[in-house]
Amino acid sequence: AAKEAGRDTLRYYTPDMNTQAMERLTLERDLRRALQDDPTQLVLYYQPQLDADTGRCIGCEALVRWRHPLRGLMLPGEFISLAERSGLIVELGRWVLAEACAEQARWAAAGLLLPVSVNLSPVQLERSDLTPYVRGLVQRYQIAPGMLELELTEGALMSEDARHLEVFNALMQLGCRFALDDFGTGYSSLSRLKRFPISRLKIDQAFVSTLPGSGDDEAVVRATLSMARDMGMDVVAEGVETDGQHHCLLAMGCTQMQGYRFARPMPAAELYHFVARLPQAQGAS
């Protein structure tokens, strides 16, 4: 909502707003330069997703960081919405997709077959060239079906535009899977969800952080699990930080987890070693 307000509302001049606007323009210029001239400023971190039942790493989520020459390592919260507003997200999103696929191919060459999840902005879906772009990557990097998961938030499913559904289906034909990110924080109706080929729900951290002890959030998790089961979807809990949360989720039958309790997002080489060190080692075979 803040995003819309920022774009459409009449803005009154105040020195403070002027400073903010300047700051945003500067960052936008820096990001454009990084994308055009120095993509090494961008880096993907990967956070493992574990199956707590088996102890195996079942995948990882690619999370972008920006090594800004003056500001240091920046988190997506500091630049994704700016990238969306300025349209730079299209190019940034392409870079993220390409880098994640290239990394997966490097891991595969080293004997590690690991699904990678990539966050997609709704702005990327609007672009008709997303499907051919992903097709090119899948072919170039020999991405096997099911090995590339695209994460979308409920907002991306809100559009009434039938073309969106076509994009989803075309990407699915290429072997992509879809996860619904931050599940529970949006307003999607079940009937709407059913129209999309989603294979996994990611329970938002907000419902995990109060476990155990919050009856309401336990109820949300239980309802999500049972709904997902009925609809043939997997469920992964995000933001699992404590033993208590881990065991509460397990007791409710939610086994897929992602969070600081297991590992923080880390550079690609570290992720490779993290997986290789797991008791159920899946590393080089």
Residue 224, helix vs strand vs coil: helix
Q: Which is nearer to Mg ion, 30 or 208 (CB)?
A: 208
Contact 226, 192 (CB under 8 A): no
Q: Which is nearer to ligand C2E, 30 or 238 (CB)?
A: 238
- Among ligand C2E, Mg ion, none, the one that 47 touches (CB under a kind-dependent 5 to 8 A) is ligand C2E
Contact positions with Mg ion (CB under 5 A) in 105-134: 119
Q: Which is nearer to ligand C2E, 11 or 122 (CB)?
A: 122
119 binds ligand C2E (CB under 6 A): yes
Contact positions with ligand C2E (CB under 6 A) in 237-276: 238-241, 258-260, 265
- Among ligand C2E, Mg ion, none, the one that 80 touches (CB under a kind-dependent 5 to 8 A) is ligand C2E
Q: Which of 77, 80, 95 is nearest to 41 (CA)?
A: 95
CB 48, min distance to ligand C2E, A: 10
212 prior amide bond cis, ω within 30: yes
148 binds ligand C2E (CB under 6 A): no
Q: Which is nearer to ligand C2E, 9 or 233 (CB)?
A: 233
Contact positions with Mg ion (CB under 5 A) in 174-193: 181-182
75 binds ligand C2E (CB under 6 A): yes
91 binds ligand C2E (CB under 6 A): no
| C-alpha to C-alpha distance for 165 and 128, rounded to whole angstroms | 12
What's the sign of the alpha-carbon dihedral 97, 61, 85, 199? positive
| C-alpha to C-alpha distance for 169 and 178, rounded to whole angstroms | 10
Alpha carbon of 216 to those of 212, 241, 270: distances in Å? Answer: 10, 19, 37
- Among ligand C2E, Mg ion, none, the one that 60 touches (CB under a kind-dependent 5 to 8 A) is none
| C-alpha to C-alpha distance for 57 and 242, rounded to whole angstroms | 18
Strands (E), 69-147: 72-74, 116-119
CB 270, min distance to ligand C2E, A: 14
Q: Which residues contact 208 (CB under 8 A, 6 or more apart)?
A: 217, 221, 237, 238, 239, 240, 241, 245, 249, 259
CB 161, min distance to ligand C2E, A: 19
Residues that bind ligand C2E (CB under 6 A): 47, 63-64, 75-77, 80, 93, 96, 119, 121, 151, 181-182, 205, 238-241, 258-260, 265
